[in-house]
Structure 1
Amino acid sequence: MHVTSIDRYMLEPGLVTEWSVAPGEVSASAVPPSYNQQFHLDTARTHGVGRSVWMAAAFDLPGRLDRDALAQALVHFVRRHDTLQTGFDVSPDAMARVDLDPDDITVVASESSLTTSPHELRDHLRYRFTEACDPLTFPAYLFATIERDSHYTVVSAFDHTLVDGYSLVIALGELRQIYQRIIGLGRSGVLTEAELTEELGDPGSFLRYCELEAEAPVTEIGDPRVREWARFYQRCGGTAPSFPLDLGVEAGRPAPQGADVRPLLDAAGTDRFEEICLDSGGSLFTGTLTAMGLAVHSINGADRMPLQFPLHIRQDPQWANAIGWLTTSAPLTVELTPDCDFQSSLAHTHASFRTALTLKGVSMAQVREALGDGYRRTRTDVFMVSYIDYRKLPGTDDHDELNAHHISNVTVADDAQFWISRTQRGLALRSRFPETPTARRAVTEFLVRLREIMHDVCENGVTPIAELTSQLNLEGTPVV
């Protein structure tokens, strides 16, 4: 699955149709929002502009679209996942979940419109997904198809309150499988929910997860996991970590978002880099983080880089096939050795990563409640680095053939965030940051140096940071 952002998503134009759920009667729900959902909804309620943090999964299939089969598949898909049957009624003083009756779900196709250029198609999808996938609307998701003479694209877009990155892989695989199963049955066949469960597995219940999270016992400040979080935030000045380069924005005052998508290493280079990391007692993820720390150090001399990273919480089999925001956050600090040796610094990074993994039993809601005034939120965003190895997720073997994409919206930002993705093609990085001249220069220089460092590690097994720095001019451009 290729990870990108909507400003860079260029598709062959065609006939565009939108597929939306008509919710019918809506009722109040007693299930509270999860911690992640409440955090996201609070941000949307506070900032308004740029609040539609949607993400989408897209895939291509050959031939002609079977519209009747797709409409049936969408109904089955929405009925299968309870997170898609809920939304939120948000006011300045309250936030409550609302539900639709799954038996009352119908899918409505819009009138089709012809797009004639990739730019027109991209702009149309961005506008419609941003309008429909708003966390303060219901339902906060929309499907679209783009038909051409020989093939078509199916896109499923959801507000972040409903899904995480892992969910997009599940959504793409299930929707495609249900659709093709219905086509295989023909007009005389009927696909039942029991047959779907047998074929796809139990979907789990994200609403049940929200209930269990709310029922979790209060965690005291004396809990060693909370103390570890407290120490981490204290080292960050009593708040969440921030990207250690000047981005030209004031905390809490987001600017329009900039984006960057680029490869870091090809498949062979990724294998080589991983081999070095494993031989050094680390991993591909912690090795990439260490290279990030070295890139920052080469620019401003910083030897510590605290950050947070998301962890999925699907180890329990009941969440294995669930669609929802099933992640927590963990703290990590990249700490470089005085000589900036890659392998020695990696040992420190990986030790911090291993410590972070021991904190998974406590939720962010419990941590924030226990810390009380010991934590204050100063920025809208958190300096975060995510990693997904798509090769290890089920149903991803033919993603290249499907032209599978994970697409994120471009909104606003007051910090930098990075998504590392590994596929059969190698290692890639999507970056999100404030679109200011200062941030654009800083992030571009950082990315240039990061790639140089990783390639140097692949070639030499070590990183002569002083030599690398001398090869770069003040603008961070490699001297040819």
Structure 2
Amino acid sequence: MRQFPLELRHVAPGRVVEWRLRSTAGPAGADGGDPAGRRASFNQDKHFTVAEESRGADDPVASWLAITFEVEGALDEVALARALLGFVRRHEVLRCEFRRLAGELACEPLAPGELALEAEHVASFDSAERLRAFLVERFKRSIDTLSWPLFTMGAVLRPDSATVYLAFDHIVCDGMSMPIVVREVMTAYEALRRGEEGALPPVPSYLDFAEEQRRRYLSIDADDERLDYWKSFIARNGEFFPRFPLDLGVEPDRMYPIVNEASSLLDPAEAEVFEKTCLEVGAKPFMGLLGSVAVCLRDAGGPGVYRGFMPVSERGRGSWNDAVGWFVNTMPIEFDASPGRDFAQVMAAVRAGFGEMIAHIDVPFVRAWELLAPQEFAARSWPYPVNFFSYIDMRKCRGAERHHEWRPATHVWSARANGACSWFQRDADGLHMNSLYVDTAAARRTMGDFQDALRETVRSVARTGGFRRPGRLAGPRRSAEQAAPLRA
């Protein structure tokens, strides 16, 4: 399971069916309960606020996360509809409508029994190209942060197979929610096909997580000692956001269309050797990759001390592993990757930097941003290109042993940006990279060279146990089209 642009997913043509979620009891909260009793998380509140402000300025900010996966054999539409409805009923955050009440963002969840699905035949396609264009446009038009429901569900049906898709607004899920989607929907679907109910055990609600988070951190101020890690980082960095250190050719206060690009860095055998090399010096594979990123940025003209943002899952603090929601905290990390340091020395620095970061993981990013950089917090985007690194080992997700059958893939999209973000995934097919960055000539050169250098660096670690020598590239770049497509 990996992440790459939806445009690169080959979906065989067929008949498109979508299942529309509707309420049987009117607007959310209409059952007479307390609609103001549930509050959004800090992540959700900031995300919704940006959508409100951009809509008011006629400058809409749009994005989505999606998953596609395969069903072998003729699709049982009734069974899939029941599986999808069960999935939505199971996760409270998916049943929520968000409303601004007295300045705060309220979540108004519908009761599970007040939801129903309506099937709709959308269109039939005899061309994979036209189908792909339709799905890309469908996701863009269907996902709206300010409108309920906050996701769309459908399938492309063929006589002997089907491709199922679900696309979500970020306000209700994160990247680690995507493996949960495919596992739960397919587990329920397969059980229903066998004539079983396939009921899953109850799962905790993300709204409970959000409530606990707000209770702990809403009242803190800028003098709270729990912000000391952030303050020390800011003091050394010179500002709240760690800048992406290479030229992307962007102008201040301007947003750009994006390039969404994916490729493979290591094949399965190389990834195994890379992991072994990291473990030999006491580092985890993501540390080896992060250190390699730091060395490549340094060799391309960046600083010897790496400073960047790193999203960290908050699911491990409780029983949230099977819950859908936005369980992500974004934290600053720094370590020394100066010239002359060998692989083991850089790994020791990464390990120490990561340990220090994790020791201060509690304070939510949005709260730290609001308290320590209020001027930037008032803006609708990060102020300039920010150094960002994300890594997920998809092999460790529940249900990964079935991924070769279901063939799931995740996809992210954003309308515009002012910098670059890179996500890395490890799966049974190796190590992969997906980057979204501004569509400028300088950014295309910079990110292309960076990708080449990183591929050579991680291969050098796998083959020789050390970093590559600066200035050497691995040869002609493979295009994203060559590296990424999956066949349905």
TM value normalised by structure 1: 0.90
Q: What one-letter code is carried by the residue in structure 1 that aligns with 2:12?
A: E
Kindly indicate whether the alpha-carbon contact (under 8 Å) linking 2:69 and 2:406 is maintained by their aligned counterparts in 1: yes
1:386-407 superposed Cα distances (whole Å, 9 cap, x missing partner)? 1111111111112122121111
Q: 2:443 aligns with which of 439, 444, 447?
A: 439
Q: How do 1:261-300 and structure 2 match up within 5 A?
A: 261-300=262-301
Q: Report the secondary structure of 1:394's partner residue.
A: coil
Q: Report the secondary structure of 1:398's partner residue.
A: helix
| 1:249 alignment counterpart | 250
Cα shift at 1:106: 0.9
Kindly indicate whether the alpha-carbon contact (under 8 Å) linking 1:337 and 1:344 is maintained by their aligned counterparts in 2: no
Q: How do 1:263-342 and structure 2 match up within 5 A?
A: 263-342=264-343
Identify if the C-alpha distance between structure 1 residues 233 and 110 changes in structure 2 by more than 3 Å, giving closer, same or farther: farther
Kindly indicate whether the alpha-carbon contact (under 8 Å) linking 1:14 and 1:148 is maintained by their aligned counterparts in 2: yes
Q: How do 1:109-188 and structure 2 match up within 5 A?
A: 109-185=119-195
| CA distance in 1 between partners of 2:281 and 2:164 (Å) | 43
1:365-385 superposed Cα distances (whole Å, 9 cap, x missing partner)? 443455365975778244321
| 1:27 alignment counterpart | 28
Kindly indicate whether the alpha-carbon contact (under 8 Å) linking 2:315 and 2:327 is maintained by their aligned counterparts in 1: yes
Q: Report the secondary structure of 1:152's partner residue.
A: strand
Q: What one-letter code is carried by the residue in structure 2 that aligns with 1:178?
A: A
| 2:9 alignment counterpart | 9
1:47 aligns with 2:54: yes
| 2:389 alignment counterpart | 385
| CA distance in 1 between partners of 2:342 and 2:102 (Å) | 51
Identify if the C-alpha distance between structure 1 residues 50 and 233 changes in structure 2 by more than 3 Å, giving closer, same or farther: farther
Q: What one-letter code is carried by the residue in structure 2 that aligns with 1:295?
A: C
Q: What one-letter code is carried by the residue in structure 2 that aligns with 1:232?
A: F
Kindly indicate whether the alpha-carbon contact (under 8 Å) linking 2:53 and 2:380 is maintained by their aligned counterparts in 1: no
1:38 aligns with 2:39: no
Q: What one-letter code is carried by the residue in structure 2 that aligns with 1:293?
A: A
Q: Report the secondary structure of 1:454's partner residue.
A: helix
1:63-120 superposed Cα distances (whole Å, 9 cap, x missing partner)? 1111111222222111111001102236997744333342221101112411122221
| 1:448 alignment counterpart | 452
Kindly indicate whether the alpha-carbon contact (under 8 Å) linking 1:51 and 1:135 is maintained by their aligned counterparts in 2: no
Q: What one-letter code is carried by the residue in structure 2 that aligns with 1:270?
A: A
Kindly indicate whether the alpha-carbon contact (under 8 Å) linking 1:341 and 1:464 is maintained by their aligned counterparts in 2: no
| CA distance in 2 between partners of 1:376 and 1:80 (Å) | 34
Deviates more, 1:3-12 or 1:165-174: 3-12
Q: Report the secondary structure of 1:60's partner residue.
A: strand
| CA distance in 2 between partners of 1:391 and 1:151 (Å) | 25
Q: How do 1:340-359 and structure 2 match up within 5 A?
A: 340-359=341-360
Deviates more, 1:77-86 or 1:101-110: 101-110
| 2:89 alignment counterpart | 79
| 1:260 alignment counterpart | 261
Q: 1:414 aligns with which of 418, 439, 445?
A: 418
| CA distance in 1 between partners of 2:188 and 2:290 (Å) | 39
| CA distance in 1 between partners of 2:255 and 2:157 (Å) | 37
| CA distance in 2 between partners of 1:241 and 1:372 (Å) | 13
Kindly indicate whether the alpha-carbon contact (under 8 Å) linking 2:279 and 2:285 is maintained by their aligned counterparts in 1: yes
| CA distance in 2 between partners of 1:88 and 1:251 (Å) | 32
Q: How do 1:59-74 and structure 2 match up within 5 A?
A: 59-74=69-84
Unmatched segments (≥5 aa) in structure 1: none
Q: Report the secondary structure of 2:156's partner residue.
A: strand
Kindly indicate whether the alpha-carbon contact (under 8 Å) linking 1:202 and 1:318 is maintained by their aligned counterparts in 2: no
| CA distance in 2 between partners of 1:367 and 1:317 (Å) | 22
1:171-230 superposed Cα distances (whole Å, 9 cap, x missing partner)? 111111112222222xxx7x4xxx72xxx3321111111111111143455555411111
Kindly indicate whether the alpha-carbon contact (under 8 Å) linking 2:420 and 2:437 is maintained by their aligned counterparts in 1: yes
1:398 aligns with 2:402: yes
Q: CA RMSD in A?
A: 2.5
| CA distance in 1 between partners of 2:60 and 2:285 (Å) | 33
Deviates more, 1:219-228 or 1:4-13: 219-228
Identify if the C-alpha distance between structure 1 residues 68 and 321 changes in structure 2 by more than 3 Å, giving closer, same or farther: same
| CA distance in 1 between partners of 2:317 and 2:337 (Å) | 35
| CA distance in 2 between partners of 1:378 and 1:343 (Å) | 41
| CA distance in 2 between partners of 1:378 and 1:293 (Å) | 28
Identity of aligned residues (%): 29
| CA distance in 2 between partners of 1:260 and 1:150 (Å) | 31
Q: Report the secondary structure of 1:262's partner residue.
A: strand
Kindly indicate whether the alpha-carbon contact (under 8 Å) linking 2:266 and 2:431 is maintained by their aligned counterparts in 1: yes
Kindly indicate whether the alpha-carbon contact (under 8 Å) linking 1:51 and 1:134 is maintained by their aligned counterparts in 2: no
Q: Report the secondary structure of 2:3's partner residue.
A: strand
Unmatched segments (≥5 aa) in structure 2: 30-34, 478-488
| CA distance in 2 between partners of 1:343 and 1:424 (Å) | 26
Identify if the C-alpha distance between structure 1 residues 364 and 219 changes in structure 2 by more than 3 Å, giving closer, same or farther: same
| CA distance in 2 between partners of 1:464 and 1:405 (Å) | 31
Q: What one-letter code is carried by the residue in structure 1 that aligns with 2:67?
A: A
Matched length: 463
Cα shift at 1:304: 2.4
| 2:427 alignment counterpart | 423
Kindly indicate whether the alpha-carbon contact (under 8 Å) linking 1:242 and 1:307 is maintained by their aligned counterparts in 2: yes
